[in-house]
Structure 1
Amino acid sequence: MSSLFIVIPAYNEAENIERTVSEWYPIVESHNKEGQSRLVIINDGSKDNTYELICKLAQARPLLIPLTKPNGGHGSTVLYGYRYAIEHRADYIFQTDSDGQTNPDEFEAFWKKRNTYDAIIGNRKVRGDGKSRKFVENTVCLLLRLIFGVKVPDANAPFRLMRTNLVKKYIHRLPKNYNLPNIMLTTYFVYYKEKITFLPITFKPRQAGTNSLNLKKITKIGYQAIKDFHTLKKSM
């Protein structure tokens, strides 16, 4: 059997975190035949009591691993989780978010394809988080096509199952705290013709709490992303 590490970043998710654990912990349990699978939740320097709640929930859940780090943003926290999974020799990494927008019931369709593809990535055809977010994703996909020559339906979906060895193959190409790792990993997978596929997923509105991104932050991230894309392209 294959070990599965589910990696979930969390920032100020006190209102969501108990629901997140209750939804995803049973999936880790059901894929823990050899006792090596884990639910890894990384607290990204939350200002609320997110980390304390994760630790409390872990007391009765031995497969739940609470980690914490200084605030560095979603991307650096995802990378932290990926490196943890690599270090602990997971066979597969599944990444999702802690805001309740993804559906755990859709995980098994991804898991069933693990022997056919090295990465299965979600495709949010309908997005519950608004037209502005869909516009940002469409813009990202256009930039990837123009800069890298890759065509993808959804580059940044927080619902992805990947062989750990595949992540390990490309993660060293990214700066340590790179803010858009999922976008670039998707790009590398497609650019280098790895065995990947995209499956449609549902994507709900945020279930509770406040989204930390706003138009000003998105614009700033966008300008930096274009610069980073051109820099990373030079090494490909």
Structure 2
Amino acid sequence: MSIKLAIVMPAYNEEECMADVVSIWTKLLIEEFPTENTCLIVVNDGSKDSTGKILDGLAPHNDKLVVVHQINGGHGNAVVHAYRKAVELGAEYVFQTDSDDQFVTADFKKLWDKRTQSDFILGYREVRHDDPFRLLITRILRWSMFLIYGTFIMDLNIPFRLIKGSFLKKLLIQLPNPVPFAPNIFLAIMAKKSGQELFNIPIVHKERATGEVSIRKMKLLKVCWQSFKELARFRLELNAKIKNLK
């Protein structure tokens, strides 16, 4: 039986909210798709706390949950691993979100209702609850991408996106190797440049109630510079990549 929808999420040191996050997204799958085959794929990115143990404890009692463990490779690496697992399972649609409990399941339907109008749909954190430094870096990156690619996307790296499985498979093939620091930005740019309507749908972003942001201040600035250089280099390959998506 084919999978109608796979929800994918990376997880790193989220022991305080992991069980609750699995519960709320599993509940969405059961309530919204009672007769469809669906799954929740969680990639444990080498967590140092009990996140992995919690997931392994939940899996035998939750037939929707697929747990994947990997050596710590960073958020982007874990996201791509989750995407590839969803494609491998043959998911018709793939929805990506994060495991930090900063999004609400009710907003999923806003994207799902647009699924026949685009193969790649993004949410947009209209009010974003992150520290000022992170917000500043995000604005700089947004306008940098506009200057480099001539493309304006409201929330380039948002972990709240719905992608048609067949289109995602093509996108993943075009990603640079090794996996860039922020692959979701690359995917969004390729989708937009290939003619997809991203919609940029306003969604709720909650304040983080548990855990800690793993990348702060100067480290954040460093990885953003890394991402900028990766994206600037990718500009030279973009036209060929877009042709491969057709």
TM range, smaller chain:
over 0.9
Spell out, residue by residue over 1:175-198, the C-alpha distance to the aligned partner (whole angstroms, 9 max, x if none): 243221111111111122123311
Q: Bigger CA drift: 77-86 or 132-141?
A: 132-141
Work out the percentage of aligned pairs sharing the same amino acid. Answer: 34
* Corresponding position: 1:108 with 2:109: yes
1:146 counterpart letter in structure 2:
L
Equivalent runs, 1:62-141 vs 2, <5 Å: 62-141=63-142
**Any conservation in 2 of the 1:31–1:37 contact (CA below 8 Å)?**
no
For residues 31 and 166 of structure 1, the distance between their equivalents in structure 2, rounded to whole angstroms, comes to 23
Q: Structure 2 stretches of 5 or more lacking a match? A: 239-246
For residues 44 and 75 of structure 1, the distance between their equivalents in structure 2, rounded to whole angstroms, comes to 10
For residues 68 and 33 of structure 2, the distance between their equivalents in structure 1, rounded to whole angstroms, comes to 20
Q: What is the CA distance between 1:133 and its match in structure 2? A: 2.2
Spell out, residue by residue over 1:2-42, the C-alpha distance to the aligned partner (whole angstroms, 9 max, x if none): 61000010001101101111110112223545553110011
**Any conservation in 1 of the 2:3–2:90 contact (CA below 8 Å)?**
no
The aligned residue for residue 208 of structure 1 is: 210
Q: Bigger CA drift: 53-62 or 90-99?
A: 53-62
Q: What is the CA distance between 1:130 and its match in structure 2? A: 2.7
Q: What is the CA distance between 1:152 and its match in structure 2? A: 1.0
1:145 counterpart letter in structure 2:
F
**Any conservation in 2 of the 1:118–1:166 contact (CA below 8 Å)?**
yes
For residues 91 and 116 of structure 2, the distance between their equivalents in structure 1, rounded to whole angstroms, comes to 16
For residues 38 and 127 of structure 1, the distance between their equivalents in structure 2, rounded to whole angstroms, comes to 28
**Any conservation in 1 of the 2:181–2:226 contact (CA below 8 Å)?**
no
State the superposition RMSD in angstroms: 1.5
The aligned residue for residue 187 of structure 2 is: 185
Q: Report the CA distance shift for 1:58/1:185 in structure 2 as closer, same or farther (over 3 A).
A: same
TM-score, normalisation: structure 1: 0.95
* Corresponding position: 1:19 with 2:12: no
Q: What is the CA distance between 1:132 and its match in structure 2? A: 2.2
**Any conservation in 1 of the 2:180–2:230 contact (CA below 8 Å)?**
no
Q: Bigger CA drift: 32-41 or 45-54?
A: 32-41
3-state SS of the aligned residue for 1:93? strand
TM-score, normalisation: structure 2: 0.91
Q: Structure 1 stretches of 5 or more lacking a match? A: none
Q: What is the CA distance between 1:50 and its match in structure 2? A: 0.5
For residues 133 and 24 of structure 2, the distance between their equivalents in structure 1, rounded to whole angstroms, comes to 28
The aligned residue for residue 230 of structure 1 is: 232
**Any conservation in 1 of the 2:17–2:101 contact (CA below 8 Å)?**
yes
For residues 26 and 59 of structure 1, the distance between their equivalents in structure 2, rounded to whole angstroms, comes to 16
Q: What is the CA distance between 1:173 and its match in structure 2? A: 2.0
Across the two proteins, how many residue pairs are aligned to each other?
A: 236
List structure 1 runs of 4+ shifted beyond 6 angstroms.
Answer: none
Q: Report the CA distance shift for 1:2/1:51 in structure 2 as closer, same or farther (over 3 A).
A: closer
For residues 58 and 176 of structure 1, the distance between their equivalents in structure 2, rounded to whole angstroms, comes to 30
The aligned residue for residue 166 of structure 1 is: 167
For residues 54 and 102 of structure 2, the distance between their equivalents in structure 1, rounded to whole angstroms, comes to 20
Q: What is the CA distance between 1:216 and its match in structure 2? A: 1.9
Q: Bigger CA drift: 2-11 or 188-197?
A: 188-197
Q: What is the CA distance between 1:110 and its match in structure 2? A: 1.3
Q: Report the CA distance shift for 1:198/1:2 in structure 2 as closer, same or farther (over 3 A).
A: farther
